[in-house]
Structure 1
Amino acid sequence: MATSSATSTHGIPLAFATCSIGHGEADDLHRRVEAIASAGFSAIELSFPDLKVFASQLLKHDVDDGNYDELCQAAKEARRLCDRHGLEIIMLQCFSNFEGWKRGSKEREQVWEKAKGWVRIMQACGIDMLLVGSTDAPAEEISTDREDIANDIGELCDFLKEHDMKVAYENWCWSTHATTWKEAWQIVQQVNRPNIGLCLNTFQIAGSEWANPCSISGCTETEITVAQMEDVDESWTETLESLSQTVPKEKIYLLQISDAYRPKKPFESEAVGGIKPRARWSRGYRPLPYDGGYLPVEDVTRAVLKTGYRGFFSVEVFDEGPDGQGKQSNLFEFAKKARQSVGRLISNCWQE
């Protein structure tokens, strides 16, 4: 069972994304949940790939993405598993490439079939929040018109509202149309539904406006001078002040926490194997705060706290080491380390 430490730091409840702990199928959902609970977290974000693996292990055969009957069966068992360990499931993640598809297209039909299936999973799990990442589908394949994007997300919100569910919309720093928190916020405002808010992420915010894995400096300028660094810092300060002053606390649904390594060698500026540089960076170079990264994670955290937000802080890291080649760690020790890291972050950033 989760211990009494599964409360908070300064009243902030803590969660952990299941995709951010463990290595492979040996560290199954049972072990991940047990480690998360034992470290003092009070909730998880359930990752769809983890649910799929769990379903295959539970039913002893491979379960396809679209087999929602069997996925729902596994979702109910995941709910029971979390209940036994005193954990809430706060969100299903992550629904990607939903918006922008042409009406009548096969792709649009497919994402709506997926949305309906994921709602079934959410019902089986007792989850009321769906994470939607700003699409990174190629611009030539979708509409990037803001009105089209907002209409699509609005329709999804309307569908979820029928089931008392909501959308947490997240900017991805490699997205086709919304790389910054402000662009995601503008979309949320244009959607104008009561059941949509932001999923803010320390990596995604800093990774879009302060850092660049393709630059020698690791910052948004390629070869940076002192004067240019001052410009970066000024712009960075302005964007965070804007966040803290313009986003209502009730429109922040979640803050995800991670840092990033500065690549030892700058990434190529072009996509490799169809993966954009910042997407590659996100997938394997995201450690816990205070564990070798270089992003101004505390800056983002302070800005979010200044809004008055006191909801979940959730660990979402993808740490394959500074070289991206892999990094092994004990599941339970890592969960405890994550708990200490987030506690330190909150304490360092806390302002009454």
Structure 2
Amino acid sequence: MRTGVATVCLSGTLREKMQACAIAGFDGIELFEQDLITSPLSPEDVRALAADLGLGLDLYQPFRDFDSVPEDLLRENLRRAEAKFRLMSRLGMDTILVCSNVATAQIDDDGLRAEQLARLARLAGEHGVKVAYEALAWGKYVNDYEHAHRLVEMVDHPNLGTCLDSFHILSRDWDTAPIEAFRPEKIFFVQVADAPRLSMDVLSWSRHHRVFPGEGQFDLAKFMAHVVRAGYSGPVSLEVFNDVFRQSDVDRTAVDAMRSLIWLEEQSARRLTVQDGGAPAAHRRRHPMELATLPRVPETTGFDFAEVKADDTAGLETLLGQLGFAFAGRHRTKDVQLWTLGQARVIINEQAPSQAEPAIAALGFDVDSPVLASARAQQLKAPVVPRTVQADEEMFQGVAAPDSTEIFLCQASPDGTAAWTHEFGEGQDAGPTSLYAVIDHVNLAQPWQHFDEAVLFYTSALALEPAPFAEVPSPTGLVRSQVMQTSDRAVRLVLNLAPIVQQGAPDGAPGRKSYQEHIAVAVDDLVAMARAAKERGLEFLPIPANYYEDLDARFSLEPDFLATLRELDLLYDRDGEGEFLHFYTATVGSVFFEVVERRGGYDGYGAANAPVRHAVQYDARQSRGVA
């Protein structure tokens, strides 16, 4: 599949955008007109730069408001078009995007539109240019891709074809199956973009909320399968208008964009295999566009460990001890400690910069084949995390997530044990090995500019499926929360949009995270664990009395049970037949712990209790003078 991206997707100058696209591995670009107009580079400079970078100049865009106009305006539009055709000759480009008219259309007549497009096609032919006609979802008279295609067929000129844009099609819920009946030589270009499902006007949705494939909710694999089965073999290019992407680092965004097309190519190949009835590769229908696939790996089977890094680890060690974790020893060659509770393992890494407060630094996931899983992640543009090992030490495969959290892929074991724990020396007696305790979920706060990137990373590299996102009230506003999980819920990862910290605020100091994250441990008797932790001096997050009055009103709990919840600062939720008990610790640095008990198949996270937690933590930060 030939990959492309529109320069409008990225921040920076035209030169910076082109260089970032080349480094990310794109085959070509769509040159957005404004990027050229505002650039000091001449058309000849752009052409030479593209050649030096190995980038094709695949599409010049956009040419607006051409059709459905009176004759006098048409003549002016043809004059504008010819000027652009001459410019494209200097650039060495041969395809231009022409959008259906929005602003100046006055005559709703397909016969007239076809005649006008025919005149444009003949003029383009004289300059060796192909015109890709696109139906904008908000076009005045032409807003349906099938309508645009009918006009192209009416004209039947070799220099006029159609551009299929997934956003304009899927945002209107048009059926994509008719694409398969299009003549492939009449599909001149294909653009793809994803988007969250939003209730708003389609123009604003398009201009501000498009995202890369895999970061939204459109069924792009289905769209692409129809395109491939139609016989199209040209570029598949990203056209994403997004305010965040255009403010983010150009190199990172280009890599994220490329990752999304790699993921989409794989998903489309799988969809085609299903459509072909799962036939063996040798007997499947052949298509002009060859779709590559990645090493396929099963879902991760669970959390292997969570790692917290800090300069001063005393507070963290005390907190873990009060929770009931046992110190399992120091690593024989590294400045790290291992703490265990049942099969929940927390590593304390002391190799942190000076004065760095505790923060989640790494997560280990159990997978069937760490090498294959790492190879997949690397092909999806994940940076490799180097790890120095000595003889007889586990060879972890590590990659970096978009927020710089290190992700280690560990060899799964049927009994949930970890082979690498033998690298640690003698520690405390961990207690009965039959104790049930596992890492239930981890909550990671994502910088605003990398939130969508993180969703795609965990979807594509770790096969986690995104649940519908939620918004949780807090004293600083709504917190966007996105759950990523395996189908069996063995791994649950919660991504929260980190709040923007004012410049100069204490939490935003260099080397310190400006947001809170937590590790949740599941046990089978939360009340007993809470009592034991209280006896060990654990500081619980204090829950307001008003919460328990509301809880009683909502659920009519047994008085003794409600009294126990109140006594131990426990929170409660119910979902159908399931029940959820949990409590939170105080925060150390940017990390706190949650302990949960799931009863009767409860599958949530106590979302109704999240505003209480946010409010209490906010008060605690304010009392410490932290913004």
- What TM-score, normalized by structure 1, do the two folds share? 0.74
Equivalences for 1:218-257 in 2 at 5 Å? 239-244=175-180, 246-257=181-192
Query: Alpha-carbon deviation of 1:308?
Result: 1.9
Which residue is equivalent to 1:330? 249
Is contact 1:258-1:289 (8 Å) kept? yes
Which residue is equivalent to 2:5? 16
1:151 paired to 2:115: yes
Structure with the larger RCO, 1 or 2 (CA within 8 Å, 6+ apart): 1
Query: Alpha-carbon deviation of 1:327?
Result: 6.5
Is contact 1:173-1:180 (8 Å) kept? yes
**Partner AA of 1:290 in structure 2:** G
The equivalent position to 1:191 in structure 2, one of 149, 155, 166, is 155
Structure 1 portions without partners, runs of 5+: 1-11, 59-73, 211-235, 268-276
**Distance of 1:249 and 1:84 partners within structure 2:** 31
Sort the Cα spacing of 1:161 and 1:179 in 2 relative to 1 into closer, same or farther, 3 A.
Answer: same
Is contact 2:29-2:57 (8 Å) kept? yes
Query: Alpha-carbon deviation of 1:17?
Result: 0.8
The percentage of counterpart residues that share the same residue type is 29
**Distance of 1:177 and 1:110 partners within structure 2:** 20
The equivalent position to 1:117 in structure 2, one of 83, 89, 106, is 83
Is contact 2:129-2:159 (8 Å) kept? yes
**Partner AA of 1:301 in structure 2:** M
**Distance of 1:93 and 1:315 partners within structure 2:** 13
Which residue is equivalent to 2:258? 339
Q: Which has the higher strand share?
A: 2
**Distance of 1:96 and 1:261 partners within structure 2:** 26
Is contact 1:43-1:90 (8 Å) kept? yes
The equivalent position to 1:319 in structure 2, one of 242, 246, 251, is 242
Indicate the RMSD between aligned Cα atoms, in angstroms. 1.6
Q: Which has the higher helix share?
A: 1
Which residue is equivalent to 2:43? 75
- Which ranges of 4 or more aligned residues in structure 1 deviate by more than 6 Å? none
1:166-189 per-position Cα deviation (integer Å, ceiling 9, x unaligned): 111111111112211110110101
Query: Alpha-carbon deviation of 1:154?
Result: 0.6
1:176-209 per-position Cα deviation (integer Å, ceiling 9, x unaligned): 122111101101011110111111111111012x
Is contact 1:254-1:312 (8 Å) kept? yes
Query: Alpha-carbon deviation of 1:111?
Result: 1.5
Which residue is equivalent to 1:131? 97
The equivalent position to 2:125 in structure 1, one of 161, 182, 191, is 161
**Distance of 1:240 and 1:42 partners within structure 2:** 26
**Distance of 2:92 and 2:262 partners within structure 1:** 28
Is contact 1:203-1:297 (8 Å) kept? no
Query: Alpha-carbon deviation of 1:348?
Result: 0.8
**Distance of 1:327 and 1:315 partners within structure 2:** 14
DSSP 3-state at the match of 2:133 = strand
Which residue is equivalent to 2:32? 47
- What TM-score, normalized by structure 2, do the two folds share? 0.42
Is contact 2:70-2:106 (8 Å) kept? yes
**Distance of 2:44 and 2:85 partners within structure 1:** 13
- Which of these two proteins has the greater Rg computed from alpha carbons? 2
**Distance of 1:35 and 1:28 partners within structure 2:** 11
Is contact 1:205-1:300 (8 Å) kept? no
**Partner AA of 2:176 in structure 1:** L
Which residue is equivalent to 1:173? 137
**Distance of 1:240 and 1:100 partners within structure 2:** 26
**Distance of 2:156 and 2:162 partners within structure 1:** 12
**Distance of 2:192 and 2:185 partners within structure 1:** 19
**Partner AA of 2:187 in structure 1:** I
**Partner AA of 2:266 in structure 1:** S
1:189-242 per-position Cα deviation (integer Å, ceiling 9, x unaligned): 11110111111111111012x1xxxxxxxxxxxxxxxxxxxxxxxxx5xx3222
